[in-house]
Structure formats: C-alpha cells, structure tokens
Amino acid sequence: MKSKKNLLWLILLVGATTWILVKRNEGSYRTINGLIFGTIYNITYQHTEDLKPEIEAELKRFDGSLSPFNKESIITRVNQNEEIITDSLFQNCFNRAIEVSKETNGAFDITIAPLANAWGFGFKKGVFPDSMMVDSLLQIVGYEKAWLKNGMIEKSDPRVQLSCSAIAKGYAVDVIANYLSSKGVKNYLVDIGGEIVAKGKNSRDGLWRIGINKPVDDSLSVNQEIQTILELTDAGMATSGNYRNFYHKDGKKYAHTIDPRTGYPVQHTILSSTVIAEDCMTADAFATAFMVMGLEEAEAFIKQHPNVDAYFIYSGEDGTFKSYFSEGMAKYIVKMN
C-alpha cells in the first residue's frame, strides 16, 4: 500500500513539475498599447520574447495599405484615382467587403465614402445634404461600381470612392492575431478600438472576459457602465453603435450610421450591435450591416446564418433598453444587467 502511495505522489510530482516547465517555456503575459487609425490598441499575449517591434511593424504595414488617415496609403491613392497595384492586405480586405456587401444586399457597402463624407461634413457643420444631393451621390455608390482586375481597382465612375472604416479595424486585428499565432503564441487578446480576437486563455487560466457597454448617450465616452459580460476564446468580436455618434437638429436625432441603399442616416431602434464570428473582419462588417438593417431584418438574417452570432441592445417603445441575442450567443454570456 505504501509503495502505491509513493508511486502516486511521484506521478503527481512529475506532473506538477512538467506543468511548471511548460508554463515557464510559454513565458509571461505581456501587454502593449498604442495608437492606430485614430484609435487605441491593446494587445496582451503570452510569450518568452518581447514581440512589440514586430507587432508595430505589422501595424505600420497595415497603415500603409488601408488607413484613410495616411495620405500615402494605398486606399488614399486609389480614391485619388492613381494607377497603383494594390497589396495583399488591400486585396483581402476589398474581396471580403464585396462578399459581405453581396450577402447583406448592400446594407454593407465599401463604396459608401461619398455619402459618409457628405453626412459627416453635415454633422460637423450642422448643414445636412438635401434630397437632390443625396440622389446625386447615390449614383456613385454601390459595391458593383468597383472591382479588382490584375491587382488594380477599376471603377465605373472616377468619382466612386472606397471606405474600409467598417471593416479595416477588424481585419487589422486578424492580421496581428495571425502574426502572433505564426510565432507560436497560444494565448492572446488583440483589441483595436474595441474590435477583438481572443485566443486560448488569460493569465488566470480562464477564458477572456469582455464587457459590452450600456448604450448611453455619451459623446465623450465618459460612461463605461457594463450591460453584459461575455467569455470568449478562439473567435473574433466587434461592436458597432450609434449611441455615441449622433446629432440633434430641429428636434430630431440623426445617427451617424448611413444606409448606403437609401443615402440617409438610419432611424432604427438598435443602439448597439455586437457580433461574434470566426474572424474579426467578418464580425466588424456584419456589426455595421446589422445597424443598417434594423432589428427585424437583422434577426431574419442571423437565423439564416448560424455561423454568425449577435447581441443587440435596442430601445423599447417606453424608451428602456431591451436586448436580443441569437441562440448561439447564449454560450458566451456570463452576466447580464
């Protein structure tokens, strides 16, 4: 009996030692942060080496391809109608954007830039485009009006302009996540402006916990009250919302989300749209598309696409917050207020 106990203790000791050595070889958890695309990024990962220089190099490469804030980026030069052969980053993003545009019947549209610019200027100056201007701009908006040929963007009209603002952040998250995986990193959380990819476990050996903010009218982002907490791993997540981007005029509230099919800001009850998908680029694009669709159309779409899960916070008839989440989203929810 004593020999069996000694053998058991020996097995446990070897197991514990092996676990400690494995953990030591995986390294400590590290966190880096900074700015890109006019927003903040936070990246936590477990590794024996400091990968910050390589991560920043990847972000710089991405910035040179898809950042609208970079005057020398590929997307800026495409919008200026320069004849330029695009890189793989641009092409991957463009191709996925066209796919989502088709899947959502234009609720998501990479050519929305002219409308977004017109309304954006209106939000800043308080002078919105009139119906004649909207009708005119709709003539140069539509995902079928731009296409890739031999690595170059061709357009049906030189006034067509591209906007990746509703998909590029998500794709940047995927690019960094793929880089970390290529380095053998098994546990990480990549967050760029609230778009996220979670892999493996956190430093407490649990799943990554992510909060969804209550959609409170708060243009300064002061209120950070949590509506729901999710546990996530091996997936991408993105959130889109209007509650911090709006404008009041003549007693009417205008959202910053523009419907590329009508040319006007949406007037739906959805305040916040959170999507979980296999990759963050897909989640990012659909989160915006659902804000455009509205609750009824978005619900119908989700039921037909079980690979996409969503959590919506919307305004009820009495003005209170209500929520809807897909059947598949339930497994991620650990706390609801």
- Mean pLDDT value across residues 254-265: 88
The domain spanning residue 82 has which CATH number? 1.10.3980.10
Rounded Cα distance between 46 and 243, Å, is 35
Which of 112-121, 177-186, 291-300, 328-337 has the weakest average pLDDT? 328-337
Write the pLDDT tens digit of every residue in 316-333.
888 788 999 999 999 999
Judge contact between 51 and 57, C-beta under 8 A.
no
The pLDDT confidence band at residue 123, using thresholds 50, 70 and 90, is low
Our CA angle for 322, 326, 332, nearest 5°, is: 95
Give residue 337's pLDDT.
Answer: 63
Give residue 23's pLDDT.
Answer: 45
Global pTM value: 0.87
200: left (phi over 0), alpha (psi -120 to 50) or beta: left
More confident residue, 267 or 14: 267
More confident residue, 246 or 327: 327
Judge whether 96 lies within some domain.
yes
The pLDDT confidence band at residue 247, using thresholds 50, 70 and 90, is low
Give residue 6's pLDDT.
Answer: 52
Judge whether 128 lies within some domain.
yes
Give residue 267's pLDDT.
Answer: 84
The pLDDT confidence band at residue 268, using thresholds 50, 70 and 90, is confident
Number of domains in the chain: 1
More confident residue, 215 or 223: 215
pLDDT > 90 in the chain, percent: 72
Judge whether 4 lies within some domain.
no
Range of the domain at 137: 74-155
Rounded Cα distance between 229 and 210, Å, is 6
Judge whether 131 lies within some domain.
yes
Rounded Cα distance between 211 and 231, Å, is 9
Judge whether 138 lies within some domain.
yes
Which of 16-30, 83-97, 198-212 has the weakest average pLDDT? 16-30
The pLDDT confidence band at residue 172, using thresholds 50, 70 and 90, is very high
Nearest alpha carbon to residue 68 among 82, 79, 81, 57: 79
Write the pLDDT tens digit of every residue in 278-317.
999 999 999 999 999 999 999 999 999 999 999 999 988 8
pLDDT > 70 in the chain, percent: 83
Give residue 214's pLDDT.
Answer: 83
Judge whether 88 lies within some domain.
yes
Judge whether 147 lies within some domain.
yes
Write the pLDDT tens digit of every residue in 14-67.
444 433 444 444 689 999 999 888 889 999 999 999 999 999 999 999 999 999
Judge whether 79 lies within some domain.
yes
Give residue 10's pLDDT.
Answer: 45
Q: Which residues contact 311 (CB under 8 A, 6 or more apart)?
A: 212, 228, 230, 273, 274, 275, 323, 324, 325, 326, 329, 333
Give residue 250's pLDDT.
Answer: 61
Give residue 154's pLDDT.
Answer: 98
